[in-house]
Structure 1
Amino acid sequence: MLKRQSERSYYLLQLVFISLFITGLFIISSFISLETLMFDQLPLMNPDTLFAKSTHTAIEETPLITSLIKPMGPVNDYLVAHYQVEDIPEDHARTVVQKVKTTSTQKRASIFLYTTHNRESFLPELGHSQPNLAFSDTSNIQSLLPFFEEALENDGFQLYTDTTDIQSVLKAENLTYQKSYDVSRRSLEQILKQVPDLAFSFDLHRDSNRRAVTTTEIDGTSHAKFLFVIGKDHQDYHKNEAFANQLSDALNSHYPGLSRGVKLLGGSGRNGIYNQDVSPTSILIEVGGVDNSLAECRASLEKLAKTLNGLLD
């Protein structure tokens, strides 16, 4: 009788321990997920706060984490949207298209365009109103590249463009979202080997701030504002900052309010370099925000091309 009671007590203690262990894992996983969600929403609450997506604390997806998070609903949906990448045809997974625009008789300078977070999109193009889900594999920041190319080509620039679907590469190589800049850097370094005198490299992004912060009107037409982001975690970042300030000031001198200025980012939890250590004229450009339309972004990119042309006169 005593032995049976001891066995029951033993199994009861085991059951209690397992229950406490599972509860602890659930609490820890929930805290990590909510902390990530709240961090992403900071710029939506504070318009003066810039959100650079490289600052995400990416969560590795495992069966345990997934099973624990799923009951939380919106948090799980958020994580799936940000860290799970849809399957697309394999031939699009690692496609670098380097277009050389030489139709103009005047070749002024060479420019490399790319989009590290290529699926960042705009709510007016998506049919829903959830800012944290403003991503698309078709209507996105990368879809603006052909228009920007044409605007720059008209001024005689030589263009190289990377149309890699970075998100598919991340999935294929089992990399987290934080590694996006490592992937896009491959194409940048390849171009620098082929074109050692590359004049500029621009990484286009979409900001997460709302319309009141990211929109202005010029000559009666709505435009998406620019924000120039400089990573300060490399020794020569002051050179990139100086170039970004020059470009921002030139924009605002011709089109007041079109640039929101230059933002320095760095420190723990951020990329802090954004591939800008390769060249003093390598910068990250936020084109509008989640509430802007592609048309508003195109209107602004046309003016950015004209301004860049003016800097070389």
Structure 2
Amino acid sequence: MKGRIKMNKRLFLLFIFAVLALLFVFQESQRNRVVKVFTLENLLVGQAHTEGEYSILVDEQGRVLDMMARRVYVNDEFISADNRRYKVIRVEGNRAYCRQIGIEQLSFEEKVEKVMPAQAGGSQVIGVYYSHDDESYVPTQGTESIPGRGGILQVGNTFANRLRGLGLTVIEDQTSHAPHDDSAYRRSRRTAMNLLQKGAAAIFDVHRDGVPDPTFYRRTINGQDVTMIRMVVGRENQNMGSNLDFAKRLKAAADARYPGLIRGIFIGAGSYNQDLSPRAMLVEVGTHTNTMAEAERGVTLFADIVPPVLGVAARPAAAQTPSTAADWKGVLFVILALVIGGGAFLLISSGGWDKAVARLKEFTSIEWVNLIGWRRKKEEENAQPKPREDKREFQLNEERADWQKD
């Protein structure tokens, strides 16, 4: 009996120990778990960055530093708009607690001398693509997601056209990589590789964020409302150092020309295909609650600072050649005007429609006959042998030639 009681006590203590161990493991997993940004439903239907779930990054005193609709891990870092650098030290719920680890000394003037020359002896080719092509802007489009036709495509196209206007060659690839999930980056990898194979010196993967508050990304620059731009660098690729330096130079140039344009630089877990190039950048243009017009204005300003960072002097786009559609329309207009004017003159000078038609027929028939006759005459002349000069004329010609020699 006593042995059974002792065995039961041991089993009870073992049970309590197991429960405490499970509670400890659960608590630690909750402390260090990924911030809840994407629900299982979102992953299944491809609605990431669209449901208003987002991470709040705070300092150790709980003051809000940043917000973003993405997964946040311990050891992620970010550089804020004022160039303070933070590191995530723990994650609780949707809050990521950060510790300041330094201040970045960014200066565009100092960086100009260190700008890496564009590839291929001054290549001016830029690649633009979209891993999440469904991302849209609610105030403009009425929804945050339109698979294959999201407003982000128009915003990226505005970015590409602005770069073209500055004299750069842009290869824009609007291939869809749906559905919207983390695997989209694996599907878009081939697109990024194709752009680099076509000679792109830098590639930009264009996105927008999913923070609900539109004022979080809105700024007034040069008297107009624009969205701020966030750059994202993956810290799990061999080009992390080069890509981060690229992002810093872009921010320094933007701070010098358009202060307040850059929301910050997030250095997060993942690769984002940035292992393919030292100048591969993921950019987020505003959030889903901003208007598309604000996003287009913001990305236009961002495009202005790309050429100098790449060491390429911005220049006006080459002038159109005379063979444009507009010029051909002008030529056709002139021809049409001549035909109408000639017809009117013929009608008036003939004194009637019937006489005008008769005169036109007579003119065309005469001209046609003359043309045929002229051609036949030329053919007959060419067919006949040339008459031989007689001997006397030949001698005169020789004497004339001798006299001319004297």
Q: TM-score, normalised by structure 1?
A: 0.61
Query: How far is the alpha carbon of 1:140 from its aligned partner?
Result: 1.6
Query: How far is the alpha carbon of 1:44 from its aligned partner?
Result: 7.3
User: Which position in structure 2 is the counterpart of 1:51?
Assistant: 69
Q: How many angstroms apart in 1 are the aligned matches of 2:262 and 2:123?
A: 24
Q: How many residues get paired?
A: 212
Query: How far is the alpha carbon of 1:309 from its aligned partner?
Result: 2.2
For structure 1, the residue ranges without an aligned partner over 5 or more in a row are: 1-31, 56-106, 129-133, 171-175, 267-271
Q: How many angstroms apart in 1 are the aligned matches of 2:42 and 2:170?
A: 41
2:145 is matched with which residue: 135, 140, 143? Answer: 135
User: Which position in structure 2 is the counterpart of 1:200?
Assistant: 202
2:206 partner letter: L
User: Which position in structure 1 is the counterpart of 2:285?
Assistant: 287
1:208 partner letter: G
User: Which position in structure 2 is the counterpart of 1:227?
Assistant: 230
User: Which position in structure 2 is the counterpart of 1:153?
Assistant: 164
Give the RMSD, CA atoms, in angstroms. Answer: 2.9
**8 A contact 2:141–2:151 mirrored in 1:** no
SS of the residue aligned with 2:54?
Answer: helix
Q: Does 1:260 align with 2:263?
A: yes
**8 A contact 1:224–1:296 mirrored in 2:** yes
User: Which position in structure 1 is the counterpart of 2:303?
Assistant: 305
1:214 is matched with which residue: 190, 201, 217? Answer: 217
* Structure 1 segment 8-157 matched on structure 2, within 5 A: 33=40, 41-43=53-55, 48-52=66-70, 109-127=124-142, 134-137=144-147, 138-157=149-168
**8 A contact 1:141–1:205 mirrored in 2:** yes
SS of the residue aligned with 2:287?
Answer: coil
**8 A contact 2:152–2:208 mirrored in 1:** yes
2:137 partner letter: F
User: Which position in structure 2 is the counterpart of 1:86?
Assistant: none
**8 A contact 1:232–1:273 mirrored in 2:** yes
Change (3 A) 1:157 1:41: same
Change (3 A) 1:53 1:146: farther
Query: How far is the alpha carbon of 1:155 from its aligned partner?
Result: 1.1
Query: How far is the alpha carbon of 1:54 from its aligned partner?
Result: 11
SS of the residue aligned with 1:297?
Answer: helix
Deviations 1:107-132 (A, max 9, x none): 8511100010111111112336xxxx
Q: How many angstroms apart in 1 are the aligned matches of 2:42 and 2:165?
A: 46
SS of the residue aligned with 1:241?
Answer: helix
Q: How many angstroms apart in 1 are the aligned matches of 2:54 and 2:69?
A: 8
2:190 is matched with which residue: 186, 191, 194? Answer: 186
Query: 1 or 2 for the larger relative contact order (CA 8 Å, sep ≥6)?
Result: 1
Query: How far is the alpha carbon of 1:52 from its aligned partner?
Result: 3.3
SS of the residue aligned with 2:68?
Answer: coil
2:275 is matched with which residue: 274, 277, 280? Answer: 277
Change (3 A) 1:236 1:147: closer
2:300 partner letter: E
Query: How far is the alpha carbon of 1:42 from its aligned partner?
Result: 3.0
Query: How far is the alpha carbon of 1:259 from its aligned partner?
Result: 0.3
2:281 partner letter: I
**8 A contact 1:118–1:166 mirrored in 2:** yes
Q: How many angstroms apart in 1 are the aligned matches of 2:155 and 2:71?
A: 19
**8 A contact 2:137–2:287 mirrored in 1:** yes
Higher mean C-alpha deviation, range 287-296 or range 43-52: 43-52
Q: How many angstroms apart in 2 are the aligned matches of 1:35 and 1:153?
A: 36
Change (3 A) 1:217 1:283: same
Q: How many angstroms apart in 1 are the aligned matches of 2:40 and 2:195?
A: 38
1:149 partner letter: A
Query: How far is the alpha carbon of 1:277 from its aligned partner?
Result: 0.5
Q: How many angstroms apart in 2 are the aligned matches of 1:178 and 1:309?
A: 31
* Structure 1 segment 158-169 matched on structure 2, within 5 A: 158-167=169-178
Moved over 6 A (4+): 34-37, 44-47
Higher mean C-alpha deviation, range 275-284 or range 206-215: 206-215
For structure 2, the residue ranges without an aligned partner over 5 or more in a row are: 1-38, 58-63, 74-121, 314-406
SS of the residue aligned with 1:217?
Answer: strand
Q: How many angstroms apart in 2 are the aligned matches of 1:155 and 1:40?
A: 36
Query: How far is the alpha carbon of 1:239 from its aligned partner?
Result: 0.9
Q: TM-score, normalised by structure 2?
A: 0.48
Q: How many angstroms apart in 1 are the aligned matches of 2:209 and 2:289?
A: 10
Q: Flag the structure with higher strand content.
A: 2
Query: How far is the alpha carbon of 1:292 from its aligned partner?
Result: 1.1
1:232 partner letter: R
2:221 partner letter: I
